Amino acid sequence: MSTAKKRLSEFFLILFIFAVSSISHAAAEDPGKDYIVGPGDVLEIRVWDHEDLLRRVEVSQEGAFTYPFIGRVAAANRSVFELETLLQKKLADGYLVAPQVSVTVSEYINQKIFLFGEVNRPGSYTLKRKVHLLELISEAGGFTENRGAKCVIVRPDSAKDKDGPTSPEEVGKNQIVELNLDDLIAGRADMTRSYVRPGDSVYIKEAESVYVIGEVGRPGKFKWVKGLTVLQAVSLAGGGTARAALNRISLVRNKDGQEKEYRPELGEAVLPDDIIKVPESYF
Instruction: List pLDDT tens digits, range 125-168.
Output: 987 666 899 999 999 999 998 899 899 999 876 444 444 554 55
d(CA 45, CA 54): 6
Which domains can be identified in the chain, with CATH numbers? 36-107 (3.30.1950.10), 112-159+172-206 (3.10.560.10), 209-278 (3.10.560.10)
Q: End-to-end distance of the chain based on CA atoms, in angstroms?
A: 40
Q: Using pLDDT thresholds of 50, 70 and 90, give the confidence band for residue 264.
A: very high
**pLDDT for the residue 36:** 84
**pLDDT for the residue 160:** 43
- β 111-117/201-206 pair status: parallel
